[in-house]
Amino acid sequence: MSRPSVNFLFNISTNDTPCTNPAGDANFLKLDTGDVLVWRNGQQNGGDLLSGVTYPTLIPESGDDEADKLFLMDYSAGEYQHIIMAGTTAPGYGGGNKRYVCCAWFSGATATVPYLEAYDDDSHETWASKPLGDGTPANSCFKAVTTTNAVPGSATWTGTPLAGTASRITLDTGPLVGAKYLYWNIKQVLSDWMVNWDTADWYNNSLVFAVHFTYS
């Protein structure tokens, strides 16, 4: 078994349909070198220039709030691309009980089931940063749900916190036997106690999401 190639793709349309091409199609945009995922306030729109005005997410005065919008910062186009169906219906910008939102395409088989995980940086060794729970994985602000084989099941789905191998989701029911598209939905949840974070904690450009699998 050779190592499969993996492409990451994100649906920037309102069409909740599967990806048809591992290089991208009319709905899905492929993640390329330099591209970044970022959550923004509802004032940010798809097509806004990366060099233009930035509208950061807002910390709620009390309790928890889901961040408004998820974007792919498309550096080749110089624009924000809105991943419209990401998250739940809570912010009111297109999320909900949506299945075909985030995608990982595998070119072949794996020895283990692929997991979606989050780490402090691309060494993939620690998950101790404040956004990933500050040592308590359940407090990670990133929550995801597997949708490879079914919709989340609720327009206000809860999801599993992402923090290294301590809290992660499987993207299928077992090892892959061949080429396949895997799917998930994801959101960021902000809490009032995050107001005490340092600026460096918020502007952490080292955080990574990873799909973890083995092959033989």
Q: Give 159's pLDDT tier (boundaries 50, 70, 90).
A: very high
Nearest CA among 44, 215, 64 for reference residue 141: 64
Q: Is 167 within 8 Å of 36 (Cβ atoms)?
A: no
Mean pLDDT of all residues in 168-192: 98
Per-residue pLDDT at 205: 80
The tens digit of pLDDT for each residue in 73-108 reads: 999 999 999 999 999 999 999 999 999 999 999 999
Per-residue pLDDT at 199: 82
The tens digit of pLDDT for each residue in 26-62 reads: 999 999 999 999 999 999 999 999 999 999 999 999 9
Q: Give 67's pLDDT tier (boundaries 50, 70, 90).
A: very high
Q: Give 201's pLDDT tier (boundaries 50, 70, 90).
A: confident
Per-residue pLDDT at 204: 76
The tens digit of pLDDT for each residue in 107-147 reads: 999 999 999 999 999 999 999 999 999 999 999 999 999 99
DSSP, residue by residue, 141-196: SEEEEE-SSS--SSTT---EE-BTTTB-EESSSS--SS-EEEEEEEEEEEEGGGGG
